[in-house]
Structure 1
Amino acid sequence: MENVRYEILPEIAKLGHVALETTDLEKSLWFFEEVVGLEKTETVDGVHYLRAWGDFDHHTLSIKEGPEARVDHIAWKAKRREDIGNFANLLREADVEVEEVKAGTEAGQGDAIRFQLPSGHNFEIYFDMEKPAAADPKHKSILKNQPYKAWRKGISPRRIDHVNIGTNTDASVITDFLQEKLGFKMREYLKTPDGNLGAGWLSVTNLVHDIAVMGRPDIKSSHEIHHLSYWSDNAQDILRAADILADQGIPFVGPGKHGISQAMYIYVVDPGSGVRLELFSNGYLIFEPDWEPIEWKADEMAAGFTFWGEQSGMKPEDLTTISAGEPLKSPKKV
């Protein structure tokens, strides 16, 4: 992949996919395909590529078996093809090690780059991605603007929504990197009693957050993921999800409504990998170009995290994470 000098700052368009490794592939596939209801695009070299019924790209989640449960990388789609080389230049100028990933390395995907946040979280940026029709014509929607029939199986969320990552180091180092190097905008944030950043909700779209960053000294490493999220159309979909999970005997947290984002939620853990999934709906959108980030203080977070409903994050099991990266390849960049 040829490096090009950027003339304008490159931009990220949206969250693309999460690449999950699980220690129990059978359980993870059962959970995400049958219970959650994601559709399988294809399986290549032991990697299962999935997407929701309203996701057009080849995949928004990939799952393969591995020796430990972890997220190999979190991927983002750039706005333009030339942004891939431009991001590579920008990151290298900031002394970030960049790996070029050739087209076809990941099924359905074109050239990409991979790199680490200062925390060790693994990120990928791509532009080209196949948009295949439903593999089984019987699963195809008659609507030309929708790849699959909705509600064919399981909870049936419409699309991928966001990720929530955690670190046991200074969260502001991550949020500064996201804003200064990748173009994210801070939408809401938590300030701790000592004046530091406790958490930040950032986006490149009109969503309140495409990514959330949590600073938690109690978690295992500097590069963890708390959850990935899929979005459903309305509150009734979340209540329907609760029925489906309860009928399968799968424990969950919620339903509830966040103050931050104003969205309804259910949290449930994949029994194969231990990664947490947030089922998400409603919330508000941001269209103002001069949006001022909203500050929350620690004593306001009872309403910030849970405006009403079952409180999230109140029990130790609600706070578990799995790795979403690795130690920095170039420790001098810490």
Structure 2
Amino acid sequence: MKPEIAKLGYISLVSADLEKSLVFFRDIIGLEETEEKDGVHYLRAWGDFQHHTLSIQQGDRGHVKHIGWRTKTKEDVAAFGKLLEEQGIAVDQVDAWKTPGIGESISFQVPSGHTFNLYFDVKRPPVDEHRRSVLKNQTYKSWAKGISPRRLDHVNLHTSAESSATYSFMEEVLGFKMREYLISDEGNVLAGWMSVTQLVHDVALVSRPETPTKARLHHISYWLDDSQDILRAADILREHHFEFVGPGKHAISQALYLYVTDPGSGCRVELFTGSYLIFEPDWQPVEWTESERSFGNTYWGDSISKKELVKETIEAL
């Protein structure tokens, strides 16, 4: 039986201006800080349960070090390591708790050049009484500060590499399912929305030959409960003089969106709600053609231009 990934875990982000990034993610987005260790700050949303869903540290430029994924069982970590080595993929072993809250893990690059970490064991830090929710099934008080998203939702990756190998690798080796995809007039897949959960996508991968480096991050996404939360987020961002794209609705995924960029790292954040869940075991991936690309991106509302799609990406090692 093949090992399995359970969910998207966290993003390890480097910022060119750590203080700006911390103000943005803690005060404006409203994430809670669980720990600071050796200059790395660990944050999560009020409904996230594991130690963190985002880490931020100072660097000479904004980029993503790696993306963490939690497996379904502890044994799956070693099983994935063996499977990857059989595929000729170099695998690095990472000691337990080297990253706070994260147990023993493995690190490797997917064909697009993005670095993934797989782990199972986690620590869930206690919450100070004044921050803790009275709900036993919720970590922090909701709406304590800022936009206040509930949880991490997905990542959107760009690559200038030949992407068909990555789509195959994600499906055949890592076990992702293609949910929706965009195909070129020549029959090549230009973008794929893939998941290991019932979400339409835990990860999207977009082919962008014009990107300045092979592996890029277009955005990370945090989930808000409903459309009114998106409108509230727009008010908060405008009050703090942030430029943003949206609100709008994607045709692909049927989700409501708003995009804003962290001024410290250059990392774009999508605030996300709506969409649909997939429970059908025989789901057939939805195909979109190149002529439908603009409609797929924007069903209605403020849209992101093709220039912005490439310009506002950051390197993902």
TM-score bracket for the superposition, by shorter chain length = over 0.9
2:170 matches 1:183: no
Identical positions, percent: 55
Residues 286 and 268 (structure 1), Cα distance of their counterparts in 2 relative to 1, 3 Å cut: same
Which residue number corresponds to residue 30 of structure 2? 37
Residue 83 of structure 1 corresponds to which residue in structure 2?
A: 76
1:303-318 pair list within 5 angstroms: 303-316=295-308
For 1:204, the equivalent position in structure 2 comes to: 196
The answer to whether the Cα contact below 8 Å between 2:184 and 2:190 also exists between their aligned partners in 1 is yes
Amino acid corresponding to residue 213 of structure 1 in structure 2? L
2:216 paired with 1:216: no
Per the alignment, residue 27 of structure 1 pairs with 20
1:11 partner letter: E
Is 2:285 the counterpart of 1:297?
A: no
The CA deviation string for residues 286-334 of structure 1, in whole angstroms up to 9 with x for no partner, is 0000000000001112221000001123543774211111xxxxxxxxx
Q: Is the 8 A contact 2:194 2:204 kept in 1?
A: yes
1:67 and 2:60 aligned: yes
Matched, 1:227 2:219: yes
How far off is 1:194 after superposition? 1.5
8 A Cα contact 2:33 2:43, kept in partner: yes
Distance in 1, Cα, partners of 2:240 & 2:63:
25
* Matching of residue 53 in structure 1 with residue 49 in structure 2: no
Distance 2:308 2:216 in 1: 16
Is the CA contact (8 Å cut-off) linking 1:52 and 1:156 kept in structure 2? yes
The question of 1:165 aligning with 2:166 is answered no
Is residue 153–residue 223 contact of structure 2 (8 Å, CA) maintained in 1?
Answer: yes
1:151 corresponds, among 143, 153, 158, to: 143
- 1:108-147 counterparts in 2 under 5 A? 108-134=101-127, 136-147=128-139
Do the aligned partners of 1:313 and 1:319 also contact (CA within 8 Å) in 2? no
The two structures have a TM-score, normalised by structure 1, of 0.93
Cα distance in structure 2, aligned partners of 1:139 and 1:316 = 38
1:18-69 CA-to-partner distances (Å, cap 9, x unmatched) read 0000010000000000000000001011110000000000000000001121
Secondary structure of 1:68 counterpart: coil
> Is the partner of 2:293 in helix, strand or coil?
helix
Q: State the aligned residue count.
A: 317
**Which residue, 241, 248, 258 being the options, matches 1:249?**
241
What's the C-alpha RMSD, in Å, of the aligned pairs?
A: 1.0
Q: Verify the 8 A CA contact 2:218 2:309 in the aligned structure 1.
A: no
What letter matches 1:250 in structure 2? Answer: F
Q: For structure 2, list consecutive stretches of 5 or more residues without a partner in the other structure.
A: none
Deviation for aligned residue 1:230? 0.3
Give the 3-state SS of the residue equivalent to 2:14 in structure 1. Answer: strand
> Distance in 2 between the 1:258 and 1:93 partners?
39
Runs of 4+ in 1 over 6 A off after TM superposition: none
